Structure 1
Amino acid sequence: MIKISSFFTIFLFFFLSSFGQQPIIQNIASRNNLSLNGKWNYIIDPYENGFYDYRREAFDQSKSKVGGYYDDKRSVDKSELIEYNFDKSPTLKVPADWNSQEERLSLYEGTVWYRKLFMAKPLTGKRYVIYFAAANYESHVYLNGKKLGMHKGGFTPFQFEVTDLLKAGENSLVVKVDNTRKKDEVPTINTDWWNYGGITRDVFLAELPDTYIHDYKVQLAKGNANFIDGFVQLNGITKSQKVTINIPEIALSFSVNTDEKGYADIKQAVKKLTYWSPENPKLYQVKISSETDEVNDKIGFRTIETKGKDILLNGKSVFLRGISLHDENPLIPGRPRSEGDLRMLLTWAKELNCNFVRLAHYPHNEEMVRLADEMGLLVWAEVPVYWTIAWENPDTYNNAQNQLSDLITRDKNRASVIIWSVGNETPLSDPRNKFMGNLVDRARSLDNTRLVSAALELHRDGNKVIVDDVLGEKLDLASFNEYAGWYWGGTPKEITKYYFDIKYQKPVVITEFGGDALAGFHADADTKFSEEYQQALYESQFKILSSIDGLRGMTPWILVDFRSPRRPHPIYQEFWNRKGLISDTGKKKKAFFTLSDYYNKLSKSFNQKK
């Protein structure tokens, strides 16, 4: 009998393939890749002249299919009219956003065309895929003047097979990237982070065998720490093959046979495992070999579940000492551009005595999650269903579902990821409840081994802070944001009068609290935007939160100051959200050390209770 999760894997694979799209290749970085990172020529196109003619008809949909910038034409006749020139255009670095690289693009929202020339030597019997780790937001991709396809979503990977279009010698890859905010998209128009545009993550040309290992899951079964339960999916003509899974360190090797669709379940008892944890982030070399392909991965094995008001990691109660963070490096500035940027952020989290990070409010770089595996940090992974979106629009829901599916597909083998989050601060309504509830069901259908949650809102009645959201019935955690002492409740010393009424007998995780502080601005504890105010706010928050029965984690907002167009105050903000414990120059504020000391004491006391 096929499990529900297996059914959805097969369905998604063939549904997308039938529409010319391709589900994400698992562990693409381990393949034989040609990096297409580096300098790309670009053309700013606010009127989209390179995409539409003067009657607003798309060139790539017209009968002649000529006139678009994607043709990358050079003039060969002095009488020919060509009103663009990639060769003479300036360059942007990829991966990176455009806002932080070019002053005239700092506030730009619209279309930018990217062009990359690269050399290739395609081999007979090989297949080739161009893979984008992320581009914000809507991308149209062309190779040698032919359209490969379109993708929506600023933080999830996408790919196109180019075997039949790749030329020996020079190739022209052109990408139209548009970061315009729209009310029916995910996220919607209104956010509290900078709308960085561009090709923000790695681009590869991957070389693959004719039939290759497209996807796999090798993880512990739900509720069974001695049993591997997963699958393997092949892509190609020779779908029925023997596939061997080998974990050399524990002398484990076993084989499965794929069916006529290239699919096989993986089920295998296992002993002598060292379980992955923040204290001991053990990763095993895992080799998956078919008759035509081989993939190597580093995988950790652990279980995660809830029991009453406890979160159990490998069967033992754990307190999630966390911090929230954006996919942004304040020191560059802009989106992270290298492993070093990502490692810096997670190292700061470790200095806070964290064992947990909330990667808000969208899928972060895959490399970030792999580093969390390596460094021993549990992860809350989220999709950008943020604030109020078009709840009743079917296309909006499908967009959100696709982003969630891609996130789970990409990161399902990462031991660090323990929570899939379907959204943040979404207001109550029947359409919203249906939308969000369906996302929860979708997450569980794709992965039944992890927790599913969301950052909920709350409301107040006098001194009572009430958490009562119908969506909470479907979630594994009572997780919510609260801003006592900043957006409501008075000064830090006044918020200790508040208490919580939480309607669920579940583990409680506070997904946000905090307040702004301008690094270096010092005053008394009643003066907003001072480091002293932020520090006092944290101290008072610890007092009111410690009274919550079932409190099992928190991720204060936020590790580092980040850019936001919603924060214009000319003295304290200058378009930065200053709730970071670390400033935009890397300076640790007073509250950083306050939280670090609190987590240190909490870790010791919690371990003693266990």
Structure 2
Amino acid sequence: MRRYFLLLLLGWLAGGAQAQPDPLIINVDGRRTTSLHGSWAAIVDPFDVGYRTYRNTPSGNSFFRHRRPQHPADRIEYSFEDAPRLEVPGDWNSQRLELFFYEGTVWYQRTFTYRLPADRRLFLYFGAANYEAIVALNGQVLGRHEGGFTPFNFEITELVHDGENDLVVYVNNRRRAEGVPTDNMDWWNYGGLTRRVLLVETPRTFVRDYFVQLDPADPSFLTGWVQLDGPERTLTVTLRLPELGLVQTIRPDTSGRGTFRLRVPERLERWSPEHPRRYRVELATRYETVVDSIGFRTIETRGTELLLNGRPIFLRGISIHEEAPFEGRRAFSKEDARVLLGWARELGCNFVRLAHYPHNEAMVRTAEAMGLLVWAEIPVYWTIQWENPHTLELARQQLRELITRDKNRAAVILWSVANETPRGEARLRFLRTLIDEARRLDPTRLVTAALEHRYVNDTTIVIDDELGRYLDVLGNNEYIGWYDGPPEKARRVVWQNAYDKPLIMSEWGGGAKAGFHGPAEQIWTEEYQARLYREQIAMLRRIPFLVGMSPWILKDFRSPRRPLARIQDYWNRKGVISDRGQRKQAFYVLQAFYRELAQSAIND
């Protein structure tokens, strides 16, 4: 009912404006942009009075209109001018104590001044807004986006004023059963304009999207495509890689799409964790030159092996939530990414699992620059509405937005379509649709999911989830020593694999409060967590088809599911680093293991 009302409202307010965002512009860092970061007016609206009357009909005084009193008798019961402020990008939960647990609507407003040349176009770009956003410029609703972790943009060329402009954004983060993720999760539901907001200026005809990668079938060739947007869709595009001396002319068809294939010289250096080499890539038309830095590598499987650039690799990883170091808030900046990924590097990682949703673009680009391989994931998490067509379309949309944004990032080797989902025919149909979509959008990477296993008897575990038949790489979450018996249980467990495919142990671990010490048998102590890690590592060494792991998790993170006073206090304490940056004993246990693995790989 609420979704129907919002769509009705959009049509009523927008006078026929499109309800969905425009096709996504990639690599906004390579374009002419203006930041809209800073202090925004913010009205907290738990009853959604900003868009509906007490009769549940569209309000003629919707906050999108941003009305001001014209004479003393005017009754207008909101004011952006007098409203408190919130910083953008940022979540509202960490900025104001009274919004700590808040889930609902906040209206954001700011003005900006712009003068757009006659031969240019302008887009309003959002890195993400959690969870639902409706955007209006100068009183005109542009459209709506659902999904809290992927980017979207609207063209505002015909609506932007020459001078001051008024921007209003409705953001609602209420959890919903039909959503992706659903209304049950184990992380903080940070609401707001949590990532960057930019104005992106382009020529009338511009390079909107492109894909430049090694051909997985024959990596001696570079293949890909370019997509133009604008009236001159057959405009010639020149692809250049100046460091390799490569130049290719691309002639798009009438849809604006052009393809290319060219042989790369033998001196091309492959991107790898040890040598994260990236090349300058230019896509030029007579109106613009879009520049990117792209690394080139191959990723494939051979039986139960994982091959990077044709050679077996073991993924020494860690899972990470998108939460800032040293403070409980949503991470969004390059500085946040450098600290989090720097901790992963200190741990000895060559791989990170960015759970359980698409992380901000700075995380992915920083990982690529630092030589960290990436597992990227959409929030098809636990139990969602498998038979709801709307839910499936939301999952497909978020997968498309993730792949569109990050498909040129060499660091990303795995698209994950699910985490800990229960078996069943409806779930299998749902996830097979996503797997097919991922392969259609990007045939150069592998597809995975974090599965659950099955006990054959007290000591034998088999990974035989039907979904594994359709994945390239198996993921598995297990918590022996935490949710599944004592740590010593790991000594007698034997693992079996129903598929001739490689396995990543995508989650394992247990909690400890930093600074809490005691016997190794006492739960919540650093000693217990370290003991659990030692037992797990000994077990994992015995799994012949294991090609990597990403223990849960790098640092403690906020979760409303964790209320234990004086221990959790609404923090999930499974981090090997505390929320204040303290290394726990388990950190050093894992670090020693990874150093041993790294040295062994060098010797091999």
User: Against the structure 1 CA distance between its residues 532 and 30, is the aligned structure 2 distance closer, same or farther, given a 3 Å change threshold?
Assistant: same
SS at match of 2:384: coil
Distance (whole Å) between structure 1 residues aligned to residue 474 and residue 145 of structure 2: 34
Aligned residue among 85, 105, 113 for 1:119: 113
* Amino acid paired to 1:469: D
Deviation at 1:553, TM superposition (A): 0.2
SS in 2 for 1:98: coil
Letter of the 2:424 counterpart: S
Question: Structure 1 residue 480 and structure 2 residue 508: aligned?
Answer: no
**What are the ranges of 5 or more consecutive residues in structure 1 without an aligned counterpart?**
1-16, 60-65
Q: Does 1:468 pair with 2:482? A: no
Deviation by residue 1:499-549 (Cα, 9 ceiling, x = unmatched): 112211111110000000000011111111110111011110011111111
Q: Letter of the aligned partner of 1:38 in structure 2?
A: G
**Residue-by-residue CA offset, 1:352-377 (whole Å, 9 max, x unaligned):** 11000000000000111111111000
Give yes or no for contact 1:330–1:562 (8 Å, CA) kept in 2: no
Match of 2:183 among 178, 189, 201: 189
Task: Report the counterpart of residue 152 of structure 1 in structure 2.
Answer: 146
Q: Distance in 1 between matches of 2:358 and 2:171?
A: 18
- Give the counterpart of 1:74 among 36, 43, 68: 68
Q: What CA distance in whole angstroms lies between the structure 2 residues aligned with 1:506 and 1:175?
A: 46
Which of residues 222, 237, 241 is equivalent to 2:231? 237
Please, what TM-score do these two structures have when normalized by structure 1? Answer: 0.95
AA partner of residue 437 (structure 2): R
| Distance in 2 (alpha carbons) for counterparts of 1:595 and 1:368 | 22
Q: Provide runs of 4+ in structure 1 moved above 6 Å.
A: none
SS in 2 for 1:234: strand
Q: List aligned pairs for 1:269-288, cutoff 5 A.
A: 269-271=263-265, 272-288=267-283
* SS at 2:83 equivalent: coil
Residue 119 of structure 1 contacts residue 169 of structure 1 at CA under 8 Å; is this kept in 2?
yes
Tell me which residue corresponds to 2:319.
Answer: 324
| Aligned counterparts, 1:499-514, within 5 A | 499-514=494-509
Deviations along 1:262-306, one digit per CA (max 9) or x if unpaired, are 110121111121100000000111110023222000000000000
The equivalent of 1:6 in structure 2 is none
Asked if 2 retains the 8 angstrom alpha-carbon contact of 1:139 and 1:178, the reply is yes
Alpha carbons 1:96, 1:200 under 8 Å: kept: yes
Alignment equivalent of 1:368, drawn from 363, 366, 388: 363
Q: Is residue 341 of structure 1 aligned with residue 336 of structure 2? A: yes
- Take 2:58 and 2:229, find their aligned partners in 1: how far apart are those partners? 33
1:428 to 423, 432, 440: 423
Mapped to 2, the partners of 1:215 and 1:118 lie a distance apart of 27
Distance 1:230 1:458 in 2: 38
- 1:36 corresponds in structure 2 to 36
Q: What is the CA distance between 1:147 and its match in structure 2?
A: 0.2
Structure 2 counterpart of 1:466, one-letter code: V
Query: Match of 1:445, as an amino acid?
Result: R
Aligned: 1:565 with 2:560? yes
Which moved further from structure 2: 534-543 or 495-504? 495-504
Identity of aligned residues (%): 49
Change in CA separation of 1:467 and 1:20 when aligned onto 2, cut-off 3 Å: closer
Shift of 1:94: 0.4
Q: Please report the RMSD computed on the Cα atoms of aligned residues, expressed in angstroms.
A: 1.2
Letter in 2 for 1:178: N
Partners of 2:179 and 2:19 lie apart in 1 by 21
Query: 2-side partners of 1:421 and 1:41: how far apart?
Result: 37
CA contact (8 A) 1:330 1:561 kept: no
Aligned to 1:52: 52
Find the aligned partners of 1:19 and 1:299 in 2 and give their Cα distance.
34
Secondary structure of the corresponding residue to residue 225 of structure 1 = coil
Q: How far apart are residue 441 of structure 1 and its match?
A: 0.6
SS in 2 for 1:542: helix
Distance in 1, Cα, partners of 2:148 & 2:519: 41
Matched, 1:526 2:521: yes
SS of the residue aligned with 1:398? helix
Q: Distance in 2 between matches of 1:58 and 1:590?
A: 57
| 2:120 and 2:203 in contact (8 A); partners too | yes
TM-score (norm 2): 0.96
* In 1: Cα distance, 2:550 partner to 2:28 partner: 31
- Give 2:168's aligned residue: 174
1:19 CA drift (Å):
6.8
8 Å CA contact retained: 1:225, 1:314: no
SS at match of 2:381: coil
Per-residue deviation, 1:330: 4.1
Counterpart in the other structure of 2:572: 577
Q: How many equivalent pairs are there?
A: 586
